[in-house]
Amino acid sequence: MPNIKSSAKRDALSKERNAKNRAARTQLRTNLKKFDAAVAEGDRETAVSAYKVAVKTIDHAATKNLIHKNCAANKKSKLTKKLNAMAQ
């Protein structure tokens, strides 16, 4: 436990940010899994809606520096390839 008041505040803020980041990362993974499940089922309608949600979540994570912008671009590219492969 910190003795200095400002250290205690920083510790509390750090824990709060950590919880928010963990929740956002978990949501990102969940949305990616939902998209993969929709692709595996072969349901194009569900896959398209899950794709839109997943891309939005990836963009948000990149904006908040949860993932690097190149990692976000790579993930979106892979999702798009999977979605386009369903049409064939």
Sequence-separated (6 or more) residues with CB below 8 Å from residue 46 = 38
Q: pLDDT category, 4, cuts 50, 70, 90?
A: very high
Instruction: Write the pLDDT tens digit of every residue in 20-76.
Output: 999 999 999 999 999 999 999 998 999 999 999 999 999 999 999 999 999 999 999
What ranges make up the beta strands (E) of 1-88?
none
Q: What angle do the packed helices 5-41 and 69-87 form, to 10 degrees?
A: 20
The mean pLDDT value for 1-22 works out to 94
3-class state of residue 42 by DSSP: coil
| Other Cβ atoms closer than 10 A to 62 | 19
Give the domains, in start order, of the chain with CATH numbers. 5-87 (1.20.58.110)
> What is the pLDDT confidence band of residue 88, given thresholds at 50, 70 and 90?
low
